[in-house]
Structure formats: C-alpha cells, structure tokens
Amino acid sequence: MNKLDRRRFLKTSVATGLALAAPAYVRTANARATAITVASLLGDDKPETKIWVKIGELVEARLPGQFRFNVVKNGALGGEKEVAEGARLGSVQASLSTVSSLSGWVPELQILDLPFLYRDRDHVRRTVDGEIGGNLKEKLAAQGFFVGDFINYGARHLLTKEPVTRPDQLKSKKIRVIQSPLHTKLWSAFGTTPVGIPITETYNALSTGVADAMDLTKSAYAGFKLYEVVPYMTETGHIWASGVVFYAANFWNRLTDEQKTVFRDASQEAAGYFDRLIVEDEARSVQQALGNGGKVLKPEALDEWQKGAQGVWQEFAATVGGIDRIKTIQAA
C-alpha cells in the first residue's frame, strides 16, 4: 500500500469510526437522563396529567436531556395514599396529592380542609402563599415530600344515589370518605357511617352498595364517571380541595441546587396552569355529567350544613394551631 492509499485508508477509517461512535454517544447521553416515574390518577385529557406534560416541557427547556418523565396514568399505581407510600419507598418520584391524603403524615395540613372556612379560590391561595403555606411545606419536607407548589382541585360537593338537599336526609347513609380523621368527623356529624375507600375503588364500592354517597370535586366527578353510580350532585362546596405538586425525597435530595431551582420554578408555573385548567374542566365535567343522566341540586338550609361542620373546627383546632388561627384565616 503506497502513501496515498494509506492516507485514504486512514481517513476512511477515522470517518467510519466517528460515524459508528456517534450513535453510541447519543445512546450514552440518553442513558444519563434521569428517569422520573410520575403517578397520575386520571387520563391524558385531565389537568392531573396535563400538569406533568407542562412541567416536563419547562424542565426540558432549561435542563435539556437531563430528565425523562414517565407519567403513569389512570391510577395504575394506586390511589393517593398508595402513591405517597410509594414515594417514601422510592418507587415513585413525583405526583400530585390532596392535602387530605397527606394529613396522616402532617396533621397540620388539615387547616386547609376545614369545612366552610374558605370563601373562594383566592382565599385559599392567599393562605397557602403566606406563612401557613411555608410552614406546611417545611413539615411535608420533613416527611419526605418536597413541595413544588400548592394547587387547587376546586370545591368538594356531595354526591348521592338519591336526591339530598338537607343534612338530615343523610342519616344512616354509608358515605365514602377520604382516609382522613377530619373527613370522618365531618360526615359523622351528619349521622352517616363514613367508610374510608381509595378513590380508585370508589366506583365499585358505590355500584355494589358498600357506600351510598361520597363527596368530590366536579372535575374528578366526571373524570371517574361517577355520575353513573351517584347521579345527584348537591353543590355544598363544603371544602376547597387543596393539593400539592410533590417530589419524593430520594429523588429531590440527588438534585443539584440549579436543578432544584428549575423544578421549583416549573412547578409554580405549572400550578397556575393546573388551576386554570381545573376551572375550565369543571364546566365541561358538569356538562358531561348532565349529558349522562346526572343532576345538579342546590343545598337547602345552608346554616344547618355549616352548624354540623362547626364541631370539626373545635375538635381539630389544637391540631392545626388553635381556634384563633382559624378565626384569623376566616377573617382574612
């Protein structure tokens, strides 16, 4: 082989080597992306999933190629309690949760669940953006849940098989509740038998008679097609369902300071996006329920509903920081 041929051979070999190496480099770069398993209770069309698409896009824009979001939808990883336990064990890296479902770890969260305390979304947002919200974030972090931001699922309303507009019509009914002491106390005050059931098992429980009623937000009412088994929705609006965007400790603690800042910023932006989506989704969900035989009722004797709930304030005052703190929030 003469010098010219040898030179051509070497050039070809180098070019071929680079061409072969490029895909390997890309595969290595992709392999370095940190996989994030995210649990969502609902499907692609609901805010609970759309928020994670948004967070993924925002993170990718600032940290390209570093993270890969795997969103597991439709409650495939269980209800909120199961997902939270999975986060503490390391099998789930991120999710959303109502504060009700996390109150077993942080009882003080129940200040956001007190019935008939909050007037509207803005009232809730002012509370979680202030000192109370900051304190609750710290307590959640101590339990392994790092909060990106608070979210608002909307007001909870009563769902029943038969029309119910007054609290005395609930007596002796079996009502599905979130597995939370506060929710159990609330519905016991109206003479019901509370039954703690994960949301993913609620449809079957209602259809088989394990429960006669429940309460839920308008968005989730349609998302789980519960109008098929509890067609009557009474707009009690008794609790504003606050929630959090959270990350598991075993994931969060491995992030750099820069990455934590990006995830916090993305979560806050996406939380606002989620809250807007929920408002839009509520209107669609009500129309979906009405179109499938659901009926919307207005509550009667609202003072009786509120009176029944007042015992909850008294019982949980010591847990959430005292009755004066509750009154301060009420007057805010």
Give pLDDT tens digits for 245-296. Answer: 999 999 999 999 999 999 999 999 999 999 999 999 999 999 999 999 999 9
The pLDDT score that the predictor gives to residue 308 is 83
Tokens of 58: 């925002």
Is pLDDT at 6 greater than 70 in this prediction?
A: no
The pLDDT score that the predictor gives to residue 96 is 98
Residue 305 Cα distances to 77, 89, 202, 222, 301, angstroms? 35, 40, 24, 25, 7
Residue 129 Cα distances to 116, 153, 238, 268, angstroms? 20, 16, 22, 11
Q: Check: CB of residue 287 under 8 Å from CB of residue 164.
A: no
What distance in Å separates the CA atoms of residue 149 and residue 160, rounded to the nearest whole number? 32
Burial of 282 (0-12, 13-18, 19+ CB in 10 A): buried
Is pLDDT at 23 greater than 60 in this prediction?
A: no
pLDDT band at 332 (very low <50, low <70, confident <90, very high): confident
Strand partners, 67: 34
Residue 44 Cα distances to 52, 53, 82, 323, angstroms? 10, 9, 21, 42
Cα 100 to its chain centre, rounded Å, is 10
What distance in Å separates the CA atoms of residue 171 and residue 134, rounded to the nearest whole number? 39
Is pLDDT at 109 greater than 90 in this prediction?
A: yes
Is pLDDT at 31 greater than 60 in this prediction?
A: no
Average pLDDT over residues 121-135: 97
pLDDT band at 9 (very low <50, low <70, confident <90, very high): very low
The pLDDT score that the predictor gives to residue 26 is 33
What distance in Å separates the CA atoms of residue 328 and residue 137, rounded to the nearest whole number? 20
